[in-house]
């Protein structure tokens, strides 16, 4: 029984903040099979659940499932149940709380204008406020996902055409959204006005493809055309591609963490090779934080490109001192602190013969809670390392992300609690250093942030959020405190 207003929260125990991957194809013989392949390449962006919606010219068909793409969408019967030349899909990632099927995307609704499906990567930072207003006006929500707000805004818009309704809906949104939508008329892909989350366009024969990352184009053999521009809507109708910029042009603020960690190293994000950027960050780290050591060792897999860059710049040999088992999921993704600790042990093992008696520089992409670093440093010591120096290929993560990367609340971020000497003690390293924010910008080919101002959303490092955060600001200070206290436990 509900004891509070039904719209008091969007997340009945479920987290709103989640990183996701999206893929859509318009005009393909085997659209849903292509989407399954594309989602498979985007699996690193979300492992909790996956879904595909197709349109056969008359009807929409949806299959959504908990778990990985493989096992759910590599089955002929499933792909056969998703007929049509247009299809889009979604992989979802959420670390805690309820993992209900009703939140798995694409979300679909029958609107007065016809069917409407949406796959969303990002997080709408005023979703709770919008939901409250919509519920007051009679909307009945089916999920606890922020994405559903978009459907209700389209449904209740007083504009005439579906495109105008959609643009009208987007004008209400604050935060990060890369979207792929399907209607009976065709497919719409768009990116929020700051382009916080990535989205690219590709071509395969006469088919147009949209995907979170270029790696998903590679997997289906498609050619990369370009990134969708911040604030751009691309429509595909009867094979024709049309682009509109309903919000005017604004300075872009794409997520810098895509380059640091989230995207696959073989992807091109906003025109830059993720692998090359990560190597350049490592080289920058070697310049900013040199250390006398015998070996550079990456924390696999996320620390590998930066470690190569560090080794090349410093001249210290690169070696695989930690071997990773590929049969356990990403450490961070396993819910619950106890399981996460266990996951680290299952996932990594020291290459003892190499480490014993050596002074080592360990390279990882980021420290979030500090769990991984603590375990890995200890693992190096247990394997006989003489000295362990930790170098991190991003600045300290001091602030939560409200735009779709699942970081824990501030109280759990190690760098929000401790200064660098405190963090060094916590992880039991001989030394610890992070690349500077200017160094990170330099690795991305920019001049110093201090000179040019923010070119990215780097709020996780700087606290400089590029949009208002209505839902956060709406919380009374005492609620913010109790919410934090609740979640810390
Ligand atoms: P922690 O153990 O909490 O400090 O997490 C740090 C590790 O998690 C690093 O090795 C990163 O590669 C990885 N990581 C950082 N941010 C994320 C994220 N948002 N989602 C999943 N993994 C992450």
Do both 63 and 191 map to the same domain? yes
* Residues carrying an active site annotation: 20
The closest of 115, 132, 22 to 474, measured between CA atoms, is 132
CATH of the domain at 33: 3.60.20.10
Q: Work out which ligand 1 atom sits closest to the CA atom of 344.
A: 2
The pLDDT value recorded for residue 10 is 38
Do both 243 and 135 map to the same domain? yes
Do both 84 and 207 map to the same domain? yes
Do both 96 and 152 map to the same domain? yes
- pLDDT per position in the chain (489 positions), as tens? 322 333 333 333 333 335 899 999 999 999 999 999 999 999 999 988 999 999 999 999 999 999 999 999 999 999 999 999 999 999 998 643 356 888 999 999 999 989 999 999 999 999 999 999 999 999 999 988 899 999 999 999 999 999 999 999 999 999 999 999 999 999 999 999 999 999 999 999 999 999 999 999 999 999 999 999 999 999 999 989 999 999 988 899 999 999 999 999 999 998 999 999 999 999 999 999 999 999 999 999 999 999 999 999 999 999 999 998 877 655 455 555 566 555 556 778 999 999 999 999 999 999 999 999 999 999 999 999 999 999 999 999 999 999 988 777 888 999 999 999 999 999 999 999 999 999 999 999 998 898 889 999 999 999 999 999 999 888 755 554 333 333 322
Strand locations in 146-213 (E): 175-183, 186-191, 200-204, 207-211
Is residue 470 included in any domain, yes or no?
A: no
Do both 300 and 444 map to the same domain? yes
Sheet containing strand 233-237, edge to edge, reads 107-111, 114-124, 175-183, 186-191, 233-237, 240-244
Token reading at 287: 């310049």
Is residue 7 included in any domain, yes or no?
A: no
The pLDDT value recorded for residue 339 is 60
Is residue 403 included in any domain, yes or no?
A: yes
Q: Is 382 helix (H, G, I), strand (E, B) or coil?
A: helix
What is the CB neighbour count within 10 angstroms for residue 242? 12
Do both 202 and 57 map to the same domain? yes
The pLDDT value recorded for residue 309 is 98
190 has binding-site annotation: no
Do both 279 and 245 map to the same domain? no
145 has binding-site annotation: no
Is residue 183 included in any domain, yes or no?
A: yes
Do both 135 and 170 map to the same domain? yes
Do both 227 and 344 map to the same domain? no
Q: Which of 218, 253, 288 is the last residue of a domain?
A: 253
Do both 248 and 385 map to the same domain? no
Q: Which of 253, 286, 309 is the last residue of a domain?
A: 253
Please give all residues whose beta carbon lies within 6 A of any atom in ligand 1, as ranges. 261, 299, 302, 330-332, 364-373, 405-407
Token reading at 179: 């979207």
Do both 405 and 307 map to the same domain? yes
Is residue 351 included in any domain, yes or no?
A: yes
Do both 212 and 330 map to the same domain? no
Separation of CA 372 and ligand 1 centre (Å): 8
406 has binding-site annotation: no
Residue range(s) defining the domain that contains residue 240 = 17-253
CATH of the domain at 365: 3.40.50.2020
Domain count, the chain: 2
C-alpha pair distances (Å), 288 with each of 392, 415, 433, 444: 11, 19, 9, 16
CB 365 within 8 A of CB 334: no
Is residue 2 included in any domain, yes or no?
A: no
Q: Is 170 helix (H, G, I), strand (E, B) or coil?
A: helix
Phi, psi of 442, rounded to the nearest 5 degrees = -60, -40
What is the CB neighbour count within 10 angstroms for residue 114? 11
Is residue 420 included in any domain, yes or no?
A: yes
d(CA 361, CA 307): 9
Task: Report yes or no on whether pTM surpasses 0.75.
Answer: yes
Is residue 488 included in any domain, yes or no?
A: no
For CA atoms 294, 300, 303, 306, give the dihedral sign.
Answer: positive
Contacts of residue 361, Cβ cutoff 8 Å, sequence gap at least 6: 291, 293, 295, 296, 297, 310, 314, 316, 389, 390, 391
Pocket test for ligand 1, best of 282, 332, 394, 434 (most atoms within 8 A of CB): 332
């Amino acid at each position: 029984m509900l004891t509070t207003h039904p719209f008091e929260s969007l997340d009945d125990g479920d987290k709103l903040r989640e990183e996701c991957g999206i893929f859509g194809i318009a005009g393909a013989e085997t659209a849903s099979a292509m989407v399954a392949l594309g989602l498979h390449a985007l699996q690193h962006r979300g492992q909790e659940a996956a879904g595909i919606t197709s349109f056969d010219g008359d009807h929409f068909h949806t299959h959504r499932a908990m778990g990985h793409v493989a096992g759910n969408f590599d089955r002929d019967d499933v792909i056969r149940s998703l007929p049509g030349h247009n299809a889009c899909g979604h992989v979802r990632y959420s670390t805690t709380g309820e993992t209900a099927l009703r939140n798995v995307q694409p979300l679909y609704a029958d609107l007065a204008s016809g069917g409407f499906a949406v796959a969303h990567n990002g997080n709408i930072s005023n979703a709770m406020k919008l939901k409250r207003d919509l519920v007051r006006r009679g909307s009945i929500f089916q999920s606890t996902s922020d994405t559903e707000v978009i459907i209700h805004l389209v449904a209740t818009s007083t504009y005439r055409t579906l495109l105008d309704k959609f643009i009208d809906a987007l004008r209400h949104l604050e935060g990060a959204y890369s979207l792929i939508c399907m209607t009976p008329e065709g497919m719409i892909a768009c990116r929020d006005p700051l382009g916080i989350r990535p989205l690219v366009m590709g071509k395969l024969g006469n088919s147009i493809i949209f995907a979170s990352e270029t790696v998903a184009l590679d997997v289906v053999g498609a050619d990369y055309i370009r990134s969708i521009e911040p604030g751009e809507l691309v429509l595909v109708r009867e094979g024709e591609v049309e682009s509109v910029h309903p919000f005017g042009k604004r300075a872009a603020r794409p997520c810098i963490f895509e380059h640091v960690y989230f995207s696959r190293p073989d992807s091109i994000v906003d025109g830059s090779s993720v692998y090359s950027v990560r190597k350049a960050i490592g080289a920058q780290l070697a310049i900013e934080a040199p250390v006398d050591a015998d070996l550079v060792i990456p924390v696999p897999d996320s620390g590998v490109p930066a470690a190569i860059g560090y080794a090349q710049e410093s001249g210290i040999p690169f070696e695989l001192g930690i071997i990773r088992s590929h049969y356990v999921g990403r450490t961070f993704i396993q819910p619950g602190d106890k399981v996460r600790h266990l996951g680290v042990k299952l996932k990594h093992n020291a290459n003892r013969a190499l480490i014993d008696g050596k002074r080592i520089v360990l390279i990882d992409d980021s420290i979030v809670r500090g769990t991984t670093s603590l375990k890995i440093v200890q693992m190096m010591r247990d394997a006989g390392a003489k000295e362990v120096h930790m170098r991190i290929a991003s600045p300290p993560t001091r602030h939560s992300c409200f735009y779709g990367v699942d970081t824990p609340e501030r109280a759990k971020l190690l760098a929000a609690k401790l200064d660098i000497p405190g963090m060094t003690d916590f992880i039991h390293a001989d030394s610890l250093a992070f690349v500077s924010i200017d160094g990170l910008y330099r690795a991305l080919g920019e001049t110093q942030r201090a000179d040019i101002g923010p070119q990215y959303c780097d709020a996780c490092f700087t606290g400089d959020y590029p949009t208002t955060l209505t839902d956060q600001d709406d919380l009374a200070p005492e609620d913010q405190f109790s919410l934090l206290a609740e979640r810390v436990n």
